[in-house]
Amino acid sequence: MYNPITDRVESYEEAWLDTVPPPGTQIAFLEKEDGSSFIAITGELRLGVGRRYAWRVEDGKTIYEIGQGEGMHINLDEDAKEGSMVGPWVVREFWKTRV
């Protein structure tokens, strides 16, 4: 896989950093009403994937955006419920980490 930092093709290495979100962190999964797109929210981390776009936002800053990303700035109320609507998005799962 091409590595733009070294400008060379290198072996693919997947790296994950496991973290535990602080107590009270909002966790949510939303799906566009037509099933074409998904959003995952963990506190200030957001990831969106659709048929023609993908994006990632951390602490309100866009890390990357491919295509015309939808839902990047959705805000859920503290009392959001599974099955509720936020514009064209359905809240599929919603909870907060234990305090």
Which comes out higher in pLDDT, residue 41 or 77? 41
Which pair of structure tokens corresponds to residue 84?
């509720």
Instruction: Break the chain into its structural domains and give their ranges.
Output: 22-96
Which pair of structure tokens corresponds to residue 15?
């790296």
Q: What is the rounded average pLDDT of the residues 69-85?
A: 89
Which of 21-25, 53-57, 69-73 has the lowest average pLDDT?
A: 69-73
CA atoms of 48 and 4, how far apart (whole Å): 23
What pLDDT, on a 0 to 100 scale, did the predictor assign at position 17?
82
What pLDDT, on a 0 to 100 scale, did the predictor assign at position 54?
93
DSSP string, 50-71: ESS-EEEEETTEEEEEESS--S
What pLDDT, on a 0 to 100 scale, did the predictor assign at position 99?
74
State the greatest distance between any 2 C-alpha atoms of the chain, in Å, as a whole number: 49
| pLDDT cut 70: percent of the chain above it | 100
Q: pTM for this one? A: 0.78
Per the listing, tokens 């037509």 go with 34
Q: What is the CATH number of domain 22-96?
A: 2.40.128.310
